[in-house]
Amino acid sequence: MKLTLAFSPCPNDTFIFDALVHKRIDTLGYDFEVILADVEQLNQKAFHSEVDITKLSFHALAYITQNYQLLNAGSALGNGCGPLLVSTPQNSNKPIAALKTAIPGKYTTANFLLGIAYPNLINKEEVIFSAIEDAVLSGKFDAGLIIHENRFTYEAKGLKLIKDLGAFWEEFSGAPIPLGAIAIKRNLSEKIKKDIDGLIKKSVEFAFEHPELSMPYTRQHAQNMDEKVMKQHIELYVNKFSVDIGEEGEKAIRLLLHTASEKQLIPAVVEPLLV
């Protein structure tokens, strides 16, 4: 059986899916048509139900639980890995609500957390995540909401941290930060959903056991990223929650969705949420 599988070219995703895509594990007869795209593009594809299995933001997931279910394996949750609100030093003391801010996508979890922390910050514009630092440095924006590997590079470029939104969430909730979800079409059979969940878990476990085998695939799609940064990226975003969300991860996800629903930022979630 052939299924479409979409994820980002970021190191954490290519690391997770390498063994599955390249059949380093037994795929139980499943074949995968791989689609690589930026997370906000993946969110949009999911909104239109274009893909069978997809990476997407937990923010976006809230809008499509009638069509997709969350898998237990493959997601990105963690501590100390949330989005950062940054600016040039001259803008760092301005009132946050007044900042014209570049965001990596309306439906990203980063923007989700920004909305929870600063509901009055409304002057926002979508910019592809890899271009946000330069957009702020050029003066086009007062501030930028950065994600992924940019957390390792913004200081060297002369930008200043205004707010660590991951730390904000952890202080507020006492829970890890749910960032990126892996979801599957709800209308697929329970057997297929459970098979895919198990295969992604095995793919993550294989990557942890043989990290060197995934590196060529990761390097191929890492956009000329420094190898040290690439490994830092993987270490930060791939962890025990990527193998299995578990009780702690599920609690964090439900708390995030409940908090946002209470603030009327998202619709109510369709159950069952998890496969």
Q: Tell me: the pLDDT tens digits for 21-35?
A: 999 999 999 999 999
pLDDT at residue 121 greater than cutoff 70: yes
Amino acid at residue number 119: P
Residue 165 has pLDDT above 90, yes or no: yes
Fold (topology level) of 2-78+178-262: D-Maltodextrin-Binding Protein; domain 2 (3.40.190)
Q: Are domains 2-78+178-262 and 84-173 of this chain identical in fold?
A: yes
Give percent of the chain above pLDDT 70. Answer: 99
What pLDDT is recorded for position 228?
A: 85
Local confidence band at 145 (pLDDT 50, 70, 90 cut-offs): very high
Tell me which residue of 76, 58, 74 sits closest to 18, measured CA to CA.
74
Nearest Cα to Cα of residue 66 among 222, 183, 192 = 183
- Amino acid identity, position 183: A
Inform me whether the pLDDT recorded for 224 exceeds 70: no
Q: Which of 148, 210, 221, 258 is catalytic?
A: 148
Mean pLDDT to the nearest integer, 244-253: 96
Amino acid at 148: H
Give the mean model confidence (pLDDT) for residues 112-140: 93
Decide if pLDDT at 178 tops 90.
Answer: yes
Q: Are 252 and 176 in contact (CB under 8 A)?
A: yes
Name which residue leads in pLDDT, 149 or 66: 66
* Tokens, residue 223: 């956009």
Domain boundaries, the chain: 2-78+178-262, 84-173
For 44-53, 159-168, 188-197, 264-273, which range has the lowest pLDDT when averaged over its residues? 264-273
Query: Which one, of 240, 244, 177, 248, lies nearest residue 208 by Cα?
Result: 240
Average pLDDT for residues 227-255, to the nearest whole number?
93
| Mean pLDDT confidence for 156-175 | 94
Which structure tokens are listed for 83? 């989005």
Tell which CATH classification among 2.40.10.340, 3.40.190.10, 2.130.10.10, 3.50.50.60 matches the domain 84-173.
3.40.190.10
Q: What is the band of 233 on the pLDDT scale with cuts at 50, 70, 90? A: confident
Q: Quick check: 127 pLDDT over 80?
A: yes
Annotated active-site residue 148? The verdict is yes
